[in-house]
């Protein structure tokens, strides 16, 4: 456990920290990526007649009131709204792995006989090793190889558990296992490779402004993956933005990775976690109480909060303060980052960041919540983005 119950009663003030390294300029936050590129396109198209277009636009502006001008531009751009909405609210699942689901048993062979691991290309560093890009020699298939140091039988058992869990999971939002190799010092998992980087990078990237609608699409897919896992009676127990990978830079499709802590639900199992950042831990994990399906749902609440605001809801000045904030369930929407966020989004988070496990929404209930399911809300969220784009174009 991280802290005693006495420490908990002395709850430190919740000092939420921005996930970005530097505070972005406020105006930049308001710009969406689409908006920026559209402005560029428009600039590009009017290079020759730019002055003419600008002066005509100024004349009209002088004669027509802003409200009417806004209405006119809305009508002109209506087809664009529809197209943009269809594109940006695409709710189709991500592409399946480029191979059929398979049951993997670790082979005692040398991996180099079958695969070429690109040791120079590190996709990520994990708790127990590194992940590299690799290629299957016979097919040319690009994959990811997670090399996990495991010397003792106990360490090997932990990795075998990860393999066993992945063997049971066949879903487009969950990364798929292709092969495994076991040697004296390590076990290597060969997995489906995705190239879009961690969702975490999108939160901290100042050039990529996540809109609320983007967040809806991300959270809905995480929920789909979780709903499937929970139906299979499996808990992930380590959900955080680092463990959500984007399929590509261009789309909002994601896959959940890292089943290192995942396990079959056992009614009276506790989980001891004493590594890494505690920001995402549910109160029952901090308190070393029974973990269950709602434990993952708490993490989903934290991820939703972070994606919408770039802030970490429980992060304190040190780990102890963070843990105290979690145990006191001390969080709020007071930061200015939440000013423009919908009531539905706030309601969704409020129903997940609940200290008592049994009161949290399940994955199935979450998918039915208006924030994730109400099409007219999604249309409104989309219009907000397009309107701000419109205003930037004409005023
Ligand atoms: P650990 O269990 O050791 O924390 P992870 O499975 O979380 O390791 O992987 C560490 C990092 O490697 C991830 O955060 C991600 O950036 C990268 N990574 C992992 N799996 C893949 C994959 N299948 N495709 C691309 N990158 C990956």
Angle at 329 between CA 328 and CA 333, to 5 degrees: 130
Angle at 25 between CA 21 and CA 27, to 5 degrees: 140
State residue 20's pLDDT score: 52
Average pLDDT of 32-36? Answer: 23
**Contact at 8 Å (CB) between 300 and 219?**
yes
Q: Is 146 annotated as a binding residue?
A: yes
CATH number for the domain running over 111-192? 3.30.200.20
- Mutate which of 257, 260, 273, 275 for ligand 1? The one with the most ligand atoms within 8 Å of its CB, which is 257
Question: Quick one: pLDDT band at residue 376, thresholds 50, 70, 90?
Answer: very high
Domain 25-55+196-386 has CATH 1.10.510.10: yes
Nearest CA to ligand 1 atom 4: 126
Task: Tell how far the Cα of 118 is from the centroid of ligand 1, in angstroms.
Answer: 15
State residue 268's pLDDT score: 78
What gap in Å lies between CA 55 and CA 394, rounded to an integer?
Answer: 12
State residue 269's pLDDT score: 78
Ligand 1 near 243 CB (within 6 A):
yes
Residues 6+ apart with CB under 8 A from 8: 324, 327, 328
Q: Which residue has the tokens 């909002």?
A: 252
Question: Quick one: pLDDT band at residue 184, thresholds 50, 70, 90?
Answer: very high
Ligand 1 near 352 CB (within 6 A):
no
Question: CA dihedral defined by 227, 229, 235, 238, rounded to 10 degrees?
Answer: -80
State residue 115's pLDDT score: 97
Greater pLDDT, 280 or 267: 280
Ligand 1 near 198 CB (within 6 A):
yes
What tokens were used for 213?
């609608």
Q: Give the pTM.
A: 0.79
Average pLDDT of 39-65? Answer: 34
194 to 60, 239, 298: CA distances (angstroms) = 49, 18, 26
What gap in Å lies between CA 325 and CA 316, rounded to an integer?
Answer: 7
Buried residues in 76-95 as b, exposed as e (16+ CB within 10 A): ebeeebeebbeebbeeeebe
Helix (H, G, I), strand (E, B) or coil at 308: helix
Q: Where are the domains of the chain?
A: 25-55+196-386, 111-192
Q: What are the pLDDT digits (tens) for 88-105?
A: 567 789 999 999 999 999
Active site amino acids: 238
Rounded to the nearest integer, the mean pLDDT of the chain is 80
The length of the chain, given as a count of residues: 395
Task: Tell how far the Cα of 313 is from the centroid of ligand 1, in angstroms.
Answer: 24
Average pLDDT of 129-155? Answer: 95
11 to 6, 169, 325: CA distances (angstroms) = 10, 40, 7
> Which helix or strand (DSSP H or E) is residue 223 part of?
helix 212-231
What gap in Å lies between CA 146 and CA 173, rounded to an integer?
Answer: 19
What tokens were used for 39?
């402005």
Helix (H, G, I), strand (E, B) or coil at 145: strand
Query: For 258, how many CA atoms within 13 A lie in the half-sphere containing its CB?
Result: 19
Question: Which atom of ligand 1 is the closest one to the Cα of 257?
Answer: 6
Task: Tell how far the Cα of 303 is from the centroid of ligand 1, in angstroms.
Answer: 18
Q: Which of 282, 265, 307 is nearest to 359 (CA)?
A: 282
- Mutate which of 146, 173, 195 for ligand 1? The one with the most ligand atoms within 8 Å of its CB, which is 146
Average pLDDT of 232-240? Answer: 95
What tokens were used for 214?
């983007």
């Amino acid at each position: 456990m991280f802290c005693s119950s006495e420490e908990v009663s002395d709850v430190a003030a919740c000092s939420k920290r921005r996930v970005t390294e530097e505070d972005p300029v406020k105006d930049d936050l308001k710009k969406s990526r689409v908006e920026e590129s559209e402005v560029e396109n428009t600039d590009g198209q009017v290079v020759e007649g730019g002055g003419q277009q600008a002066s005509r636009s100024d004349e009209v502006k002088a004669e027509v009131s802003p409200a009417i001008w806004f209405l006119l531009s809305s009508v002109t751009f209506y087809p664009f709204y529809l197209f943009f909405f269809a594109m940006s609210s695409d709710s189709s699942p991500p592409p399946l792995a480029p191979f059929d689901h398979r049951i993997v048993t670790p082979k005692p062979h040398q991996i180099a006989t079958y695969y070429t691991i690109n040791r120079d290309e590190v996709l990520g560093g994990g708790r127990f090793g590194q992940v590299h890009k690799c290629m299957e020699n016979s097919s040319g298939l690009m994959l990811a190889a997670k090399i996990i140091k495991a010397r003792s039988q106990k360490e090997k058992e932990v990795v075998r558990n990860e393999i066993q869990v992945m063997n049971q999971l066949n879903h487009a939002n969950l990364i798929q296992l292709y092969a495994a190799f076991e040697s004296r010092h390590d076990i290597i998992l060969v997995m489906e490779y995705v190239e879009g980087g961690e969702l975490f990078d999108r939160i901290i990237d100042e050039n990529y402004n996540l809109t609320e609608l983007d967040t809806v699409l991300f959270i809905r897919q995480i929920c789909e993956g979780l709903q499937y896992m929970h139906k299979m009676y499996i808990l992930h127990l380590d959900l955080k933005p680092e463990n959500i990978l984007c399929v590509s830079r261009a789309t909002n499709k994601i896959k959940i990775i890292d089943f290192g802590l995942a396990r079959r639900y056992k009614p009276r199992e506790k989980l001891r976690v004493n590594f890494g950042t505690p920001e995402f831990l549910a109160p029952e994990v901090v308190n070393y109480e029974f973990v269950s399906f709602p434990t993952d749902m708490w993490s989903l609440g934290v991820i939703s909060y972070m994606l919408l605001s770039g802030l970490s809801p429980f992060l304190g000045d040190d780990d102890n303060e963070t843990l105290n904030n979690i145990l006191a369930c001390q969080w709020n929407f007071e930061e200015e980052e939440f000013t423009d966020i919908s009531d539905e989004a706030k309601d969704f988070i409020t129903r997940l960041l609940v200290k008592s496990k049994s009161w949290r929404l399940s994955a199935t209930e979450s998918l039915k919540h208006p924030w994730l399911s109400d099409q007219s809300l999604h249309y409104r969220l989309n219009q907000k983005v397009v309107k701000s784009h419109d205003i930037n174009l004409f005023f």
